[in-house]
Amino acid sequence: MQAYFQTLCQHLNSQLQGNEVWLANLRGELSDFARFNQAKIRQAGQVQQQYLKLELINGQQHAFSRLSLSGDLAQDQARLSHSVQQLRQQLSELPPDPYVLYATEGESSHDVQASQLSPATEVVSELLDTVQGRDFVGIYASGSIYQGFANSFGQQHWHQRDTFHLDWSIYLHADKAVKQSYAGFAWDSATFQGKIAQADTQLAVLRQPARTLSPARYRVYLAPSALAELLTLVGYHGFGLKKHRTCQTPLLRMITEPKASLNPQIYLSEDTANGLAPSFQEQGFIRPASVPLIEAGHYQDTLISPRSAQEYQVATNGANEYEMPQSLSMAGGQLAASEVLAKLGTGIYINNLWYVNYSDLSGGRLTGMTRFACFWVENGEIVAPINVMRFDETLYHLLGDALEGLTSERDLLLDSHTYEHRSVESMCLPGVLVDGVRFTL
């Protein structure tokens, strides 16, 4: 596909007039997938698709279009020529954009990792053998995800990763279920078998009568999947330069109040080098291997898109247009996962959260609800499932003064979204032990 993309880019060069500039971004995949319900395959197939975003620029005027590529060279070249003509007509009607910024020089890159994937048929066969007798619901997707960039200045980038992602729940009845996921670059049977064994252990507890806890403050352990829900929300507003300059970030106090900070154990970064997202973005700028966002609990840096860089006259660090992290990483701590229950003592073990939102954005206050397998723990032992509860707490408490520890082990959590295409977003997160989380109902 890379050679095909390069041929299309050569064709684009022949379409330019005057001072016009073009930028092209290709996004594609070749994915096998299977959907499961009650431990049976309900849908299976393969998706092969590639979309090209073409942007035409003349001075400060720019417009773009998106095309689905057919793989027929003559047809795709003709459609590109037509798109260039349409975009040229649009440019004549558009006002100048003072914040347009794109790369005009820089080295090209080629980043393709050798595939370690097992055939999808083998994985699915093992999966079905393992989960027989359980109400297993989920989706498995695997295969190649690739992205390319090129411009009329001769810059070219190519990025490809072969990954798998299995996202599933095992239901007991009604809303009583264990939700899990497993993702990576190479399927490991022992890891998967271990997750299913863990789910069986938790399902046994779910069979017991659920406890209803009174609103109060409780000691809490947030598993990596629960922490991911919190940090996904924070990522929408928390780390972009535009949000910081317009005071729309939940980290506002860390900027305006010198003493406001998180716990010194908190190190957050945009870890492009170890994520799935490419090391380049849609305007051709290269992303650093890592951007430190929070270090030792203190605000360090923001994600800066080219538009924000132009608006605020600072250097871009290759952020996407939304200035949201795509490869968020939190450093682990000293707490062994095997010691979590003992360290928790008496409190709540939270596997999953949902409906997480802000109750006070500028104050960094979040609210959300427990979901699926969440348990009441006494003296280091899980004793009963809990009914759904709502928490309301600030980041400065959850990851600040109440934070007791981070697990040394971290989970690689790949985004399971497949809207339009498989996501390349990921998180690498530990679990967190927090003392005194406020539950309101």
| Domain of residue 54, CATH code | 3.30.2290.10
Distance (Å, whole) CA 279 – CA 276 = 9
B/e letters for 332-347, b = 16+ CB within 10 Å, e = fewer, are bbebebeebbebbeeb
Q: With contact defined as beta carbons under 8 Å apart, do 53 and 151 qualify?
A: no
Same domain, 164 and 193: yes
Q: With contact defined as beta carbons under 8 Å apart, do 229 and 391 qualify?
A: no
Distance (Å, whole) CA 163 – CA 128 = 20
| 286-343: pLDDT as tens digits | 999 999 999 999 999 999 999 999 999 999 999 999 999 999 999 999 999 999 999 9
Among residues 180, 206, 232, the one where a domain terminates is 206
Same domain, 310 and 379: yes
Same domain, 257 and 393: yes
Same domain, 224 and 346: yes
| 182-221: pLDDT as tens digits | 999 999 999 999 999 999 999 999 999 999 999 999 999 9
What's the domain range around 108? Answer: 2-206
Same domain, 36 and 15: yes
Same domain, 340 and 227: yes
Domain assignment present for 248: yes
Among residues 206, 225, 258, the one where a domain terminates is 206
Domain assignment present for 84: yes
Same domain, 201 and 333: no
Same domain, 172 and 220: no
Same domain, 322 and 361: yes
Domain assignment present for 211: no
Among residues 206, 228, 251, the one where a domain terminates is 206
Give the distance from CA 390 to its chain's centroid. Answer: 24
Same domain, 168 and 222: no
Same domain, 323 and 409: yes
Same domain, 323 and 181: no
Distance (Å, whole) CA 391 – CA 343 = 21
Q: What is the DSSP string of 111-144?
A: EEPPP-PPPHHHHHHHHHHHHTTSEEEEEEEEEE
Number of domains in the chain: 2
Domain assignment present for 103: yes
Mean pLDDT by 10 residues, the chain (441 residues): 96 96 98 97 96 97 97 97 97 96 92 96 97 96 97 97 96 90 95 96 94 97 97 96 96 90 97 96 96 97 98 96 97 97 98 95 96 95 96 97 97 89 95 97 86
